[in-house]
C-alpha cells in the first residue's frame, strides 16, 4: 500500500496518497505562478483551493478515505490547467505570461519568501515567519525581539516588520514561507504539521457546534480584518512618511555629528555643555586606531538602524522590492559594528580597573590646630589654564601643550570621630594596574593653601597630557569635631557636595553662613530662619555662640 | 488564423455577460454558475470562473456572502450589486444590437 500524508486544504483535513499529493502540489503551484502577477491572486487561490476541497469531500466515502491519484486527475480535469483558462487579458499578456510561467516552475522549488506565520504566532507571527525564512527555531528570534525590546528599538522593529511582511494565507504561501525544496517528504511534513494543528483545534472546540461557532467568530474577525486592512494601508503610508522624516533627520544629525563641526554637543544656553570632539577623543582613547574602530563601530551600530528606518519608510510608501540578501548583509554588518564597540569597550574597561582606593597613596591628611575661631573655607577663582574642550559649571576640561586641567573637585563635611579637626585631600584616578595608578597619582597636581584658621582650595587639578582623561578627581573631606564652627564661602558653590545638616538645608544655601558641629550634626549659626530645630538645640547653639562673639570683640 | 482561437475569443466576449445573466435571477455559488456555463458549453474548465468572479466583484459588479456547507468549506454566494444590474442592462442592449447585426450581415 502506498504511503499517505495528511493535508489541510481550506481548513478541511484529507488523507492523500503520496503520488497524488505530488501531482496536486505541482498543479497548485502552476496555478499560483499563473496568477502571480495579478493583484487578486491570493483571493483567487483561496477560492480555487476551497473548490478543490469541496470536490475532494465528494470523493470521500466510508469505503474510500484516501484521495488517490485518479481523484486528483479528475479534479484537475474539472478545474482545468492554466493553459485552458479563458483569460480576458490573454491576448495582451499571452507571450510574457507563458515565458514567466515556465521559468517560475524551475525557480519555485528553491525560492523562499518572507511571510508572517499565522499558525505559529505569539503576536503577529513575525518571529515565526522570520524563523521559517532564516531556517532557525522561532524561539531564538523571539528571544532576540524580547532583548531588543529592552534595548529600545524592538517594539518599533516588530511593528515595521508586521506592516511590511504579509501573512501566509494559502497553502502555497506557507510552502513558500518555509521554502523547503518541493519533494514529497518535505511537503508531506509541512502539511502534516498543519493537519495536526487542525485536529487539535477540532478536539478543542468539539465537532459540529464548535465548528459553527468558530466560523461565526471567524467571519466577524474577517470583517474586522478588512476594516483594519484598509486602515493599515492608510496608516502604512503615514508611517512611511514619518519613518522617512525621522530617519532622514537622524541621519543628517548623525553625519553632522561625525564629520561636521569640531564641536559635538553645543546645546548651550549659558555654556552648559560643549565638547571639542577630536581633542576630547584623543584624550580618551588609548590609540588612534582604537579611536577609529570606535567611530566606525558607533557609526554602524547607530547608522544602520537609521538607514533601515528610511528603507522601511520608502518600502511602505513605494513598495520597493526587498532583497533578503541585502537585509541579512546589513544585519551581519550591524553585528560587526556592535562587536567593534564591544571590543573598544572591553579594552577601555581594562584601562579603568584600578583606582585610588586600591593604593591609598593619593590621600594627604592635614590637622587643623586652631580650634577656637570659625574655620574659613573658600576656593580660588583663578582662570583655568589652557583651552577649554569641555565646559560645564561643575565639570570642565581644558588643555595646553603638555597638560590637562580638570575641575572635578568635591567638598564633603563629616563629623570627626576624634577630637581633632582633620582635612583629607584625596586624589583619585583610574588605571589598568596598581603601578599605573601610582604613576598617574604622582603626576597629578592639586594645590591648596592651609593656614591656622583657613583653607583656600585650588579650583583645578592638572596632569600630564599622556595620562589622558581617566576619571581624575579630588575629594576634600573635612572631619569636624563637635563644638567646632566653620564658615563656608560662596566660592564653594560648585564643589560643595551633599553636606548633611540638621535643617536639611540645600548645599548652595549653606554658603555664606557659619555652621557649627553639634551632637546632632551641622547646625546653622546665623541663618535668619531656622526651621525644624528644638528649643534645647537653640539653647545649645547660643551656648556656643557666646565664646565666639567674645573672641571677635578681642 | 486558427479556428480554435477565434472561437475562444468569441466565448470570452460573452462570458461576463453570461455570468451576470445567471446571477440576475438571484444569488448563486460558483458550482451552480459553473453548471449552467458548462451546460451552455461556454467554459470547459472551472478554473476559468474564479478569477473572473473575483475581478467582477472587485469591479463592484458583484458582492458575496459566506454560507456554511455540509460537504466542504464555506461557500461564497454571489449576487449582483446595483451597479452590476445596470451594467447587465447595458450589456443586454449591446447583445441585442450584436445579434441584430449578425442577422443582418449573415443574410
Of A490, A491, A511, A489, nearest to A499 (Cα)? A511
Q: How far apart are CA A67 and CA A385, in angstroms?
A: 91
In this predicted structure, what is the pLDDT of residue A535?
A: 60
Grid cell, residue A104, equals 517560475
d(CA A314, CA A76): 42
Q: Tell me how far apart the alpha carbons of residues A60 and A424 are, in angstroms, rounded to a whole number.
A: 95
Task: Tell me the C-alpha distance between A222 and A215, whole Å.
Answer: 10
Q: B46 in helix, strand or coil?
A: helix
Q: CA quadruple A119, A121, A127, A131: dihedral positive or negative? A: negative
The pLDDT, as a whole number, for residue B96 is 92
Among A12, A34, A52, A86, which would you mutate to test the B interface (most chain B Cβ atoms within 10 Å of its Cβ)?
A86
Interface of B with A in 4-33 (CB under 8 A): 8-9, 11-12, 15-16, 30-31
* Angle formed at CA A492 by CA A550 and CA A476, multiple of 5 degrees: 95
Check residue A539 and give its pLDDT: 62
User: What ipTM was estimated for this complex?
Assistant: 0.85
Q: Are A469 and A403 in contact (CB under 8 A)?
A: no
Strand blocks (E) in A154-276: 166-167
- Give B100's pLDDT tier (boundaries 50, 70, 90): very high
pLDDT of residue A526: 77
Per-residue model confidence as pLDDT tens digits over B1-44: 678 778 777 877 788 888 899 998 888 888 888 888 888 877 76
Note whether B68 contacts A: Cβ–Cβ < 8 A: yes
CATH no. for residue B91? 1.10.10.10
Q: Which of A67, A81, A85 to mutate to test the interface with B (most CBs of B within 10 A)?
A: A85
Give start and end residues of each alpha helix (H) in A355-472: 434-442
Going by pLDDT thresholds of 50, 70 and 90, the confidence category of residue B78 is very high
Q: Where are the domains of chain A?
A: 1-109, 238-351, 355-553
Whether residue A331 contacts residue A307, with contact meaning beta carbons closer than 8 Å, is answered with no
B49 pLDDT exceeds 70? Answer: yes
Q: Are B51 and A58 within 8 A, CB to CB?
A: no
Name the residue among B8, B50, B71 with its Cβ closest to that of A44.
Answer: B50
Helix ranges (DSSP H) in A319-381: 324-351
Could you tell me which residues of chain A have a Cβ less than 8 Å from any Cβ in chain B? 10-12, 31, 35, 38-40, 43-44, 47-48, 50-51, 53-58, 77-82, 84-88, 90-91, 212, 215, 219
**Is B73's CB within 8 Å of A50's CB?**
yes
Contacts of B69 in chain A (CB under 8 A): 54
* DSSP 8-state assignment for residue A460: E
| Contact call for B12 and A215, based on CB within 8 A | no
B51 touches chain A (CB under 8 A): yes
What per-residue confidence (pLDDT) applies to A278?
60
Q: For the purposes of burial, counting CB atoms within 10 Å of the CB of B82, is it exposed (0-12), middle (13-18) or buried (19 or more)?
A: exposed
Of residues A46, A40, A50, the one with CA closest to residue A88: A40
How wide is the angle at C-alpha A43 spanned by C-alphas B55 and A237, nearest 5°? 90
- A456, β-bridge pairs: A378, A449
Contact A80 B30 (CB under 8 A): no
DSSP per residue, A54-87 = HHHHHH--SS--EE-HHHHHHHHHHH--GGG---
Q: Which residues in chain A have Cβ-Cβ distances shorter than 8 Å to B48?
A: 80, 84-87
Rounded Cα gap, residues A340 and A297, in angstroms: 5
DSSP state of A122: S
Instruction: List % helix, strand, coil for chain B (3-state, nearest 5).
Output: 65, 10, 20
Query: β-strands A421-428, A430-431: how paired?
Result: unpaired
Q: How far is CA A215 from CA B33, B68, B70, in A?
A: 24, 8, 13
Show residues of chain B in contact with A57, CB under 8 Å. Answer: 71-72
Phi–psi pair at A486, nearest 5 degrees: -135, 160
Residue A260 C-alpha, separation from nearest chain B C-alpha, in angstroms: 54
Look at residue A98 in the predicted model and tell me its pLDDT.
37
- Number of domains present in the structure of chain B: 1
**Residue B71 sits at the chain A interface (C-beta within 8 Å):** yes
**Which one of B13, B64, B72, B76 makes the best mutation probe of the A interface by having the most chain A beta carbons within 10 Å?**
B72
- The Cα of B105 is separated from the nearest Cα of chain A by a number of Å equal to 26
- DSSP, res A384: P
What cell does B38 get? 458548462
Distance (Å, whole) CA A227 – CA A220: 11
Interface mutation target, options B47, B49, B59, chain A, most CBs of A under 10 Å: B47
Range of B87's domain? Answer: 3-106
The stretches in chain A having pLDDT less than 70 are: 1-2, 86-112, 151-153, 171-172, 175, 178-218, 256-282, 318-323, 356-360, 370-371, 393, 528-554
DSSP A467: G
Distance CA A344, CA A293 (A): 7
Interior CA angle at A377 toward A550 and A366, to 5°?
A: 100
Minimum distance, in Å, between the CA of residue B39 and any CA atom of chain A = 14
Determine, for residues B69 and A82 on separate chains, whether the beta-carbon distance falls below 8 Å. Answer: no
Distances (CA, A) of A486 to A320, A331, A455, A510: 73, 62, 11, 11
Task: Report d(CA A539, CA B26) in Å as an integer.
Answer: 104
Amino acid at each position: 500500500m502506498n504511503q499517505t500524508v495528511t493535508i489541510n486544504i481550506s481548513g478541511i483535513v484529507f488523507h492523500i496518497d503520496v503520488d497524488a499529493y505530488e501531482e496536486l502540489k505541482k498543479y497548485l503551484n502552476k496555478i499560483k505562478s499563473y496568477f502571480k502577477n495579478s493583484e487578486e491572486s491570493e483571493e483567487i487561490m483561496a477560492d480555487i483551493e476551497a473548490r478543490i476541497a469541496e470536490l475532494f469531500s465528494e470523493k470521500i466515502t466510508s469505503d474510500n478515505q484516501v484521495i488517490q491519484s485518479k481523484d486528483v486527475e479528475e479534479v484537475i480535469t474539472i478545474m482545468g490547467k492554466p493553459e485552458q483558462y479563458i483569460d480576458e487579458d490573454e491576448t495582451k499578456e499571452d507571450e510574457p505570461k507563458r515565458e514567466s510561467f515556465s521559468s517560475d516552475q524551475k525557480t519555485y522549488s528553491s525560492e523562499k519568501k518572507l511571510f508572517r506565520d499565522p499558525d505559529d504566532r505569539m503576536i503577529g507571527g513575525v518571529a515565526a515567519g522570520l524563523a521559517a525564512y532564516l531556517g532557525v527555531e522561532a524561539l531564538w528570534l523571539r528571544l532576540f525581539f524580547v532583548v531588543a525590546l529592552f534595548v529600545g528599538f524592538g517594539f518599533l522593529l516588530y511593528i515595521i516588520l508586521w506592516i511590511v511582511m504579509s501573512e501566509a494565507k494559502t497553502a502555497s504561501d506557507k510552502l513558500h514561507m518555509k521554502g523547503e525544496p518541493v519533494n514529497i517528504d518535505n511537503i508531506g511534513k509541512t502539511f502534516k504539521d498543519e493537519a495536526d494543528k487542525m485536529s487539535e483545534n477540532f478536539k478543542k472546540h468539539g465537532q459540529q457546534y464548535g465548528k459553527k461557532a468558530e466560523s461565526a467568530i471567524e467571519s466577524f474577525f474577517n470583517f474586522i480584518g478588512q476594516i483594519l486592512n484598509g486602515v493599515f494601508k492608510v496608516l502604512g503610508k503615514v508611517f512611511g512618511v514619518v519613518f522617512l522624516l525621522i530617519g532622514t533627520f537622524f541621519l543628517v544629525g548623525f553625519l553632522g555629528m561625525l564629520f561636521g563641526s569640531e564641536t559635538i554637543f553645543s546645546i548651550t544656553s549659558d555654556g552648559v555643555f560643549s565638547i571639542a570632539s577630536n581633542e576630547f577623543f584623543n584624550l580618551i582613547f588609548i590609540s588612534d586606531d582604537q579611536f577609529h574602530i570606535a567611530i566606525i563601530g558607533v557609526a554602524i551600530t547607530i547608522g544602520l538602524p537609521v538607514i533601515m528606518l528610511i528603507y522601511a519608510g520608502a518600502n511602505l510608501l513605494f513598495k520597493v522590492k526587498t532583497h533578503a540578501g541585502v537585509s541579512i548583509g546589513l544585519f551581519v554588518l550591524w553585528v560587526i559594528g556592535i562587536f567593534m564597540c564591544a571590543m573598544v569597550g572591553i579594552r577601555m574597561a581594562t584601562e579603568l580597573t584600578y583606582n585610588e582606593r586600591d593604593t591609598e597613596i593619593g590621600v594627604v591628611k592635614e590637622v587643623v590646630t586652631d580650634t577656637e575661631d570659625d574655620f574659613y573655607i573658600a576656593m580660588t577663582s583663578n582662570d583655568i589654564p589652557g583651552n577649554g574642550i569641555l565646559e560645564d559649571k561643575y565639570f570642565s576640561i581644558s588643555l595646553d601643550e603638555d597638560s590637562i586641567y580638570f575641575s572635578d573637585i568635591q567638598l564633603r563635611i563629616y563629623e570627626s570621630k576624634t577630637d581633632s579637626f582633620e582635612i583629607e585631600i584625596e586624589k583619585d584616578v583610574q588605571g589598568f594596574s596598581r603601578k599605573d595608578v601610582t604613576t598617574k597619582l604622582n603626576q597629578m597636581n592639586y594645590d591648596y593653601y592651609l593656614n591656622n584658621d583657613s583653607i583656600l582650595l585650588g579650583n583645578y587639578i592638572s596632569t600630564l597630557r599622556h595620562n589622558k582623561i581617566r576619571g581624575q578627581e579630588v575629594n576634600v573631606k573635612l572631619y569636624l569635631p563637635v563644638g567646632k564652627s566653620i564658615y563656608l564661602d560662596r566660592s564653594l558653590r560648585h564643589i560643595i557636595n551633599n553636606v548633611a545638616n540638621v535643617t536639611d538645608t540645600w548645599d548652595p544655601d549653606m554658603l555664606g553662613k557659619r555652621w557649627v558641629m553639634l551632637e546632632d550634626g551641622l547646625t546653622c549659626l546665623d541663618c535668619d530662619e531656622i526651621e525644624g530645630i528644638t528649643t534645647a538645640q537653640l539653647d545649645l547653639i547660643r551656648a556656643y555662640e557666646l565664646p565666639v562673639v567674645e573672641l571677635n570683640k578681642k | 488564423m486558427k479556428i480554435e482561437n477565434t472561437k475562444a475569443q468569441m466565448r470570452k466576449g460573452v462570458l461576463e455577460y453570461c455570468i451576470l445573466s445567471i446571477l440576475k435571477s438571484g444569488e448563486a455559488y460558483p458550482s451552480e454558475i459553473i453548471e449552467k456555463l458548462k451546460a451552455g458549453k461556454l467554459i470547459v474548465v472551472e478554473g476559468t470562473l474564479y478569477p473572473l468572479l473575483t475581478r467582477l466583484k472587485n469591479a463592484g459588479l458583484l458582492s458575496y456572502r459566506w454560507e456554511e456547507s455540509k460537504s466542504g468549506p464555506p461557500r461564497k454566494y454571489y449576487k449582483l450589486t446595483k451597479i452590476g444590474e445596470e451594467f447587465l442592462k447595458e450589456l443586454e442592449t449591446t447583445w441585442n444590437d450584436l445579434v441584430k447585426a449578425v442577422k443582418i450581415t449573415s443574410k
